[in-house]
């Protein structure tokens, strides 16, 4: 049997070892996601990439592609669940898009638009988390963290520094800095680190670079995220797409 499965009736070829999500993105099929990064091991924490594989829900970033699979992706049922996840993330932090430097470059915001999320729906949590201005080049606004762990994985897997971690459980789970003081300035974090560029929301920001690109001219202002599949295709030795 050839290395092909279907997504919403469309035939998707795949290479051995690819996940359903990697094969879909390679074939130009957009899959909503927040915790996935083509350079890191799949994590499966945000659940936005969940599809139905042979009738059963599965995170597509961690599900190996197999010949003959019948996969559902862009359906009313699945997108309703994705909208709910986005709505929950929007109320768990302080996501004030009009005043956020990441507006227009924020994947959470862009996915909200793509999925038609027009209101928070749930009661706002309004967490009060401190902003860390201690580092000379970077600042951390913990109020926007969505617990995707991209900065943790980038710091550990690429930078080999382990600057970030998660602490607590349930509603008290939050991002921390691995320093006795809890301050970013007391780590070996650098503006050139991979962890400095992977945050999908507005937690990790460069100082003195705010609004250098005007709102309205940013990545997802120019074209909806679901029309930019090429940005998220798996990285090969010959190419490194910026995500």
118 and 137 in one domain? yes
C-beta of residue 112 within 8 angstroms of C-beta of residue 30: no
In a domain, residue 217? The reply is no
Listed residue (178, 155, 175, 159) closest to 167, CA to CA: 175
Listed residue (223, 218, 203) closest to 103, CA to CA: 218
Say yes or no to pLDDT of 238 above 80.
Answer: no
Domain with residue 68: its CATH number is 3.10.20.740
Domain with residue 128: its CATH number is 3.30.70.20
In a domain, residue 135? The reply is yes
In a domain, residue 220? The reply is no
DSSP for 154-174 reads: IIIIISS---EEEESSGGG-E
Q: What pLDDT was estimated at residue 171?
A: 83
- What percentage of the chain carries pLDDT values higher than 70? 96
Length of the chain in terms of residues written:
243
Q: What pLDDT was estimated at residue 236?
A: 62
203 and 91 in one domain? yes
62 and 174 in one domain? no
Q: Buried b / exposed e across 180-206, counting CB within 10 Å, b at 16+? A: eeeebeebebeeebbbbebbbbbbbbe
194 and 92 in one domain? yes
Mean pLDDT confidence for 64-89: 97
In a domain, residue 102? The reply is yes
pLDDT tens track for 191-226? 999 999 999 999 999 999 888 899 999 999 999 999
Residue 49 DSSP code:
T
pLDDT tens track for 173-191? 999 999 999 999 999 999 9
196 and 88 in one domain? yes
Q: What pLDDT was estimated at residue 237?
A: 47
For residue 150, the surrounding DSSP H or E stretch is helix 150-153
Mean pLDDT confidence for 117-144: 91
Say yes or no to pLDDT of 3 above 70.
Answer: yes
Distance CA 70, CA 58 (A): 12
Write down the mean pLDDT value for the chain.
93
- The whole domain housing 177 covers 81-209
C-beta of residue 142 within 8 angstroms of C-beta of residue 187: no
114 and 182 in one domain? yes
115 and 197 in one domain? yes
Distance CA 12, CA 28 (A): 9
Quick one: 161 exposed, middle or buried, by C-beta within 10 A (0-12, 13-18, 19+)?
middle
192 and 130 in one domain? yes
| Residue 113 neighbours by CB distance under 10 Å | 14
Mean pLDDT confidence for 18-44: 95
36 and 111 in one domain? no
Task: Report pTM.
Answer: 0.92
């Amino acid at each position: 049997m050839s290395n092909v499965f279907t997504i919403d009736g469309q035939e998707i070829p795949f290479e051995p070892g690819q996940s359903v999500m990697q094969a879909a993105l390679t074939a130009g099929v957009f899959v909503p996601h927040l915790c996935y990064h083509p350079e890191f091991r799949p994590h499966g924490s945000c659940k936005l990439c969940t599809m139905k594989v042979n009738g059963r829900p599965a995170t597509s970033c961690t599900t190996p592609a197999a010949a003959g699979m019948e996969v559902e992706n862009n359906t009313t049922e699945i997108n309703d669940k994705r909208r709910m996840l986005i709505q929950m993330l929007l109320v768990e932090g302080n996501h004030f898009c009009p005043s956020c430097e990441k507006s227009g470059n924020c994947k959470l915001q862009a996915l909200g638009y793509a999925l038609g999320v027009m209101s928070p729906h749930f009661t706002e949590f309004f967490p009060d988390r401190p902003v860390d201005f201690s580092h000379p080049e970077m600042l951390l606004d913990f109020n926007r963290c969505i617990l995707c762990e991209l900065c943790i994985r980038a710091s550990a897997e690429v930078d080999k520094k382990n600057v970030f971690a998660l602490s607590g459980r349930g509603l008290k789970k939050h991002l921390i800095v691995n320093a006795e003081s809890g301050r970013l300035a007391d780590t070996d974090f650098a503006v050139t680190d991979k962890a400095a560029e992977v945050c999908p929301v507005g937690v990790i920001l460069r100082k003195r670079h705010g609004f250098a690109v005007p709102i309205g001219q940013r990545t997802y202002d120019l074209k909806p995220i679901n029309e930019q599949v090429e940005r998220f295709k798996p990285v090969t030795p010959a190419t490194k797409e910026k995500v």
